[in-house]
Amino acid sequence: MNIHEYQAKDIFRRFGIPVPPGDVATTPDEAERIARAYGTGVVVKAQVHAGGRGKAGGVKLARTPADARAAAQQIIGMQIKGLTVPKVLVTPAADIASEAYAGIIVDRASKRAVYMVSPAGGIDIEEVAATMPDKIMRLPVDPRYGLLPFEASRLGFFLYMDNAKLAREAAKIMRQLWQAFTASGGSLAEINPLVVTTGGDLLALDAKMVIDDNELDRHPDIAALRDETAEDPSEVAARRANLTFIKLDGNVGCVVNGAGLAMATMDLVKYYGGEPANFLDIGGSSNPEKVVNALRIITRDPNVKAILFNIFGGITRTDDVANGIVAATRDTPLTIPMVIRLTGTNEEIAVQILQQHGFSAMTDMDDAVQKAVRLATGGKAA
Amino acid sequence: MSIFIDRNTKLVVQGITGRDGSFHAKQMLEYGTCVVAGVTPGKGGQKFENKVPVFDTVADAVAATGANTSVIYVPPPFAADAMMEAADAGISLVVCITEGVPVLDMTRVYPYVQDRKARLIGPNCPGLITPGVSKVGIIPGRICTAGNVGVVSRSGTLTYEVVYQLTRAGIGQTTCVGIGGDPINGTNFIECLQAFEADPDTKAVAMMGEIGGTDEQQAAEFVRAHMSKPVVGFIAGQTAPPGRRMGHAGAIISGSAGTAAEKLDAFKAAGMGVAQRPADFVTLLHERL
């Protein structure tokens, strides 16, 4: 789960990491009021779950409260990478002497949480890794001990090798970041940039955290930070229905059980000259209600010209899926063609149910995908 | 022959009285798996299906039955503990089916299991099956048939799809292993390939990867350097957008790393057969057997 910068800063603050003050505005009025209260120049920052905010014009410096209002006017409601910006963070502008990077990621190769720090901050860390690998220190953390003080110290001195005071302060921030990361069930925590102000203080000027979805049950306070106004509405609806859904740009709507098969189905749509409209996994234990919700979400997308079911019944009972299809189309008959492929558990019953209601079912995945692509493109492809 | 499970597999089912655990324990019994024990804390002393003794702890189950393999169906918050309990009790093969185990839990589980010399498969995996002999997990037995192709995959239903197509085409399997779709898991592709290379009955391997991480690239390098048997590979997620988690926690392209194209290139460079779609496994394996 993504959380906003201001939410990540709240968490950091709780663990003692120095963060600049800031308040959230959902209207230009509020932004102006907040800027006036600070009485200094402010930065107005889009709160949106997408990278590249600055480049997209989502971060603006405002010298006066009126400027802050104008900036908020421009930013709130703008689209960044397909997502609408619901709110802005208004925060006093800082005088920056230098910028560094500090982050924790979960590294698949070492199977550990790994610190990455770099004195070259404020820019894309992947770019630093590619162009100046000696400017990055990577430090895997042994989960049995957590970040040890000497390790924190190594990170601190790597960042500020010629300034012992800053190095020690940075080491303290590294330890606090470990606490914030583990206590929140994070899969990523990032300070970019970590700045030294012209006054000589360290400050986490920007904050990013990603929370492991599998930790949310353990951390109800963190789960409550979810901002549905910042998410794609169809993905919100899918999550509520316990479906995994990702919208894409094509016109073949896909309903599949299992993530790997769902991806392979999308790929096969492309292979036969079509474009998938979505990734949708109805999961293992099927019930008819899930299928009803899946069809509702997919048919909401006006781009979808044909629907493709690809169900391989293992734990999933194909008769449950058939009943779901019947139930969903009884209330609202489909206006676009549908191709159903199912095989596996209770296949005979499923086929019978579908036939009784005027549907037919296929058993071969390639045949079904080709047919769906043909229907979606009006016979032009495959 | 087979890898990891065979006639000597003596299985303990952790979470045997739960909804998923009891359903699949029955299926495994029906398949002929030697299920010697179940574990559910607080239900020790009961009998599952009037024949399988239930214990409070894995240690008790091992002491009483000599179980050497465990399969875990406990809910996500308790799965990490269950994996560690099994390893600590001396189980040598721990298979965790549970989906939704927190990744930071797995950073602790992995070294713990390694220290105790246990092999972990999963979590978030369908388990494994040696057709006609033993099934540990949830792979439907009727789609498999005994033969000489080893199957290893990060996915569940995609594995079923491929195995089903192989079986229909008359290509049987030695063992099918689902290693799971999480970013941190136990046994990886390379360890499975190593085992298939060493298994005299396996003549070729079908490998199904997906986007995210670098396991497939490393596996390809292993194939190039160390395998005499032909390997055919497939990568799911060629149409997946970057930065989005495609269902599996581990199926995500981070920045520009972990794309299907990069993995398929690694397969080609290693001289592997490359299946563009699941159906290609049949033709590519026929050519190589």
Domains of chain B from N-terminus onward: 11-121 (3.40.50.720), 139-288 (3.40.50.261)
Residues A127 and A71 in one domain: no
Residue A71 lies in a domain: yes
Which among B76, B239, B276 is the nearest to A276, CB-wise?
A: B239
Tell me the chain B residues in contact with residue A218 when contact means C-beta distances shorter than 8 Å. Answer: 77, 102
Given a contact cutoff of 8 angstroms between Cβ atoms, the answer to whether A121 and A92 are in contact is no
Residues A167 and A179 in one domain: yes
Q: Is A91 on the interface with B (CB under 8 A)?
A: no
Three-state DSSP class for residue A244: strand
Contact B247 A279 (CB under 8 A): yes
Whichever domain contains A28, its CATH number is 3.30.1490.20
Q: Is B111 on the interface with A (CB under 8 A)?
A: yes
H or E element in which residue A67 lies: helix A65-75
Residues A244 and A369 in one domain: yes
Could you report the per-residue pLDDT of B119-163, keeping only the tens digit for each? 999 999 999 999 999 999 999 999 999 999 999 999 999 999 999
Q: What letters, b where the CB count within 10 A reaches 16 and e where it falls short, cover B228-244?
A: ebbbbbbbbbbbbeeeb
As given in the structure block, the two tokens for residue B179 are 């290693």
Pairwise CA distance, residues B28 & B205, whole Å:
25
As given in the structure block, the two tokens for residue A296 are 């509702």
Residue type at B90 in one-letter notation: G
Contact B164 A217 (CB under 8 A): no
Residue A325 lies in a domain: yes
Q: What are phi and psi of A34, to 5 degrees?
A: -65, -45
As given in the structure block, the two tokens for residue B53 are 């003794």
The C-alpha angle with vertex A104 and arms to A99 and A107, in degrees rounded to 5, equals 135
Residue type at B162 in one-letter notation: V
Q: Is B106 on the interface with A (CB under 8 A)?
A: yes
Contact B160 A344 (CB under 8 A): yes
Could you report the per-residue pLDDT of A34-76, keeping only the tens digit for each? 999 999 999 999 999 988 898 899 999 999 999 999 999 999 9
Q: Is B242 on the interface with A (CB under 8 A)?
A: no
Q: Which among A167, A189, A223 is the end of a domain? A: A223
As given in the structure block, the two tokens for residue A188 are 């990523």
Tell me the chain B residues in contact with residue A185 when contact means C-beta distances shorter than 8 Å. Answer: 102, 104
Residue A5 lies in a domain: no
Rg over CA atoms, chain A: 25
Q: From start to end of chain A, where are the E strands?
A: 23-25, 42-47, 59-62, 79-80, 83-84, 87-92, 96-107, 112-118, 137-141, 186-197, 202-204, 207-211, 244-247, 252-256, 278-281, 306-313, 338-344, 361-362
Contact B213 A113 (CB under 8 A): no
Pairwise CA distance, residues A293 & A239, whole Å:
10
Residues A372 and A253 in one domain: yes
Residues A154 and A214 in one domain: yes
Q: What is the pTM of this model?
A: 0.93
Could you list the active site residues of B? 248
Whichever domain contains A167, its CATH number is 3.30.470.20
Pairwise CA distance, residues B223 & B194, whole Å:
9
Q: How many domains does chain A have?
A: 3
Residue A116 lies in a domain: yes
Largest alpha-carbon pair distance within chain A?
Answer: 79
Spot the catalytic one: A6, A101, A115, A160.
Answer: A101
Given a contact cutoff of 8 angstroms between Cβ atoms, the answer to whether B110 and A111 are in contact is yes
Mean pLDDT of B96-101: 95
**DSSP secondary structure, A169-220, as one string:** HHHHHHHHHHHHHHHTTEEEEEEEEEEEETTS-EEE-SEEEEE-GGGTTT-H
Residues whose CB is less than 8 angstroms from the CB of residue B277 and which lie 6 or more positions away in sequence, other chains included? A264, A267, A268, A271, A366, B234
Share of chain B above pLDDT 90, in %: 93
Tell me the chain A residues in contact with residue B143 when contact means C-beta distances shorter than 8 Å. Answer: 344
How many CA within 13 A on the CB side of residue A21? 9
Domain carrying residue A371: 232-376
Query: Is A228 tagged catalytic?
Result: no
Which range among A4-18, A241-255, B223-237 shows the weakest confidence by mean pLDDT? A241-255
Could you report the per-residue pLDDT of A118-177, keeping only the tens digit for each? 998 777 777 888 888 889 999 999 999 999 999 999 999 999 999 999 999 999 999 999
Mean pLDDT of B263-277: 97
Residues A129 and A45 in one domain: no
Q: Is A187 on the interface with B (CB under 8 A)?
A: yes
Tell me the chain A residues in contact with residue B277 when contact means C-beta distances shorter than 8 Å. Answer: 264, 267-268, 271, 366
Three-state DSSP class for residue B254: strand
Given a contact cutoff of 8 angstroms between Cβ atoms, the answer to whether B139 and B162 are in contact is no
Could you report the per-residue pLDDT of A279-302, keeping only the tens digit for each? 999 987 668 888 999 999 999 999
Residues A129 and A102 in one domain: yes
Residues A58 and A176 in one domain: no
